[in-house]
Amino acid sequence: MKRRAAPACALAILLLASSGYAVPNLIMLSIDDGVTDSALDTAYTATVVESGVGNPNGCRPPITWCAAHGTAPMLHCDCDAVLQAHSLGHELATHTVTHPDNGESLSYEEWVEVVGNQRSWLAGCGVPEEEVVGFRAPYYVTNSALGSALQDLGFLQSCPEVQKATHSHLFCGCAREVPAEALPGSGGRHSDPQPVDGKSILERLQEDFESKRGSGVPVGIKVHEPYLEDRQAMQTLITNRIRLSNRGEIIAFLRWALGQEDTWAVTYSQYISWIEAGQGSLNGKVLSNSTCDAA
Ligand SMILES: [Zn+2]
């Protein structure tokens, strides 16, 4: 299986791989759209906590929330839930305040407004603005105006790839991008993976993990709250198909992956910090200052 690395990070990973340090396996769990008590309960309590897994340092996997505070029910963010997530060591990122479905035609000014206003909204809840360093485009749709907008908002010191408006590098930190690739065999879907090509969701995630094992390239679990609800279990009854619910598959993957040697679940900004640190263990300078929710 060919290894895929974000071009922006490929050199750093190559240097890591040749630096003599063991390169960990990485998992990043992100939830898009609303941040509410319900979403926190579904994604964290009923999925991460329920899985019983922890990182090698004994902390539960943190979630990166790509938060959008719009008007539709699934786009509602609640300050109490946002602060609870923050107090658990989760990352709050901006996914725009309006969740526009026309990213390809937004102007520079419109990007600045929708990206920046969500960061301001999170800051208004009490999340330190300097900690809101991540962005994900709604529907992964971007255009050439976005790169300048992110740069001028202080999200990017250098992020030239986003200027190309590709669909592969859409989550940016201060100086790095993280690949937003789809899982093997998917047909290009970035979020909410489904079984395809006779492979279960668990098998697709495992295949992705194996293709990246020891490379430092993260496996992304990119989902929404409804994906993790129990609707699939009901559907299974109706169609008489035997398979786990989506959430059951994600729990199974977390248990399998965190059972592999030197495997860590991190936030997007922790991953970027680790790349920028250039070497060494995650447990050192990168995670030592992070809030730990002990497993
Ligand atoms: Zn979204």
Residues 6+ apart with CB under 8 A from 83: 125, 126, 127
57 CA from centroid of ligand 1 (Å): 31
Contact 123, 95 (CB under 8 A): no
Secondary structure class of 63 (helix, strand, coil): strand
Please report the pLDDT score of residue 189 as a whole number. 75
Q: According to the model, what pLDDT value does residue 147 have?
A: 81
* C-alpha distance from residue 175 to each of 134, 150, 157 (Å): 11, 11, 5
Q: How far is the CA of 69 from the centre of ligand 1 (A)?
A: 10
DSSP string, 212-245: HTTTTPPEEEEEEHHHHSTHHHHHHHHHT-----
Distance 58 CA to ligand 1 centre (A): 31
**pLDDT value of position 182:** 75
Global pTM reads 0.86
For ligand 1, the distance from its centroid to the CA atom of residue 281, given in whole angstroms, is 32
Walk along the chain (295 residues) and give the pLDDT tens digit of each residue: 334 444 444 444 444 444 456 789 999 999 999 999 999 999 999 999 999 999 999 999 999 999 998 777 678 899 999 999 999 999 999 999 999 999 889 999 999 999 999 999 999 999 999 999 888 888 888 888 888 888 888 875 444 444 443 333 445 544 456 666 778 776 667 789 988 888 999 999 999 999 999 888 889 999 999 999 866 555 655 665 556 789 999 999 999 999 999 999 999 888 888 887 875 678 777 888 899 999 8
Residues with CB under 5 A from ligand 1 (ion): 32-33, 138
CA of 151 to the centre of ligand 1 (A): 21
Predicted confidence at residue 279, as pLDDT, reads 59
- Rounded to the nearest angstrom, the distance between the alpha carbon of 191 and the centre of ligand 1 is 10
Pick the CATH number of 26-283 from 3.30.70.100, 2.40.400.10, 3.40.50.970, 3.20.20.370: 3.20.20.370
Query: Which of 227, 228, 232, 226 minimizes the C-alpha distance to 244?
Result: 232
Two structure tokens written together for 9 = 């990070």
H or E stretch at 81: helix 79-87
114 CA from centroid of ligand 1 (Å): 13
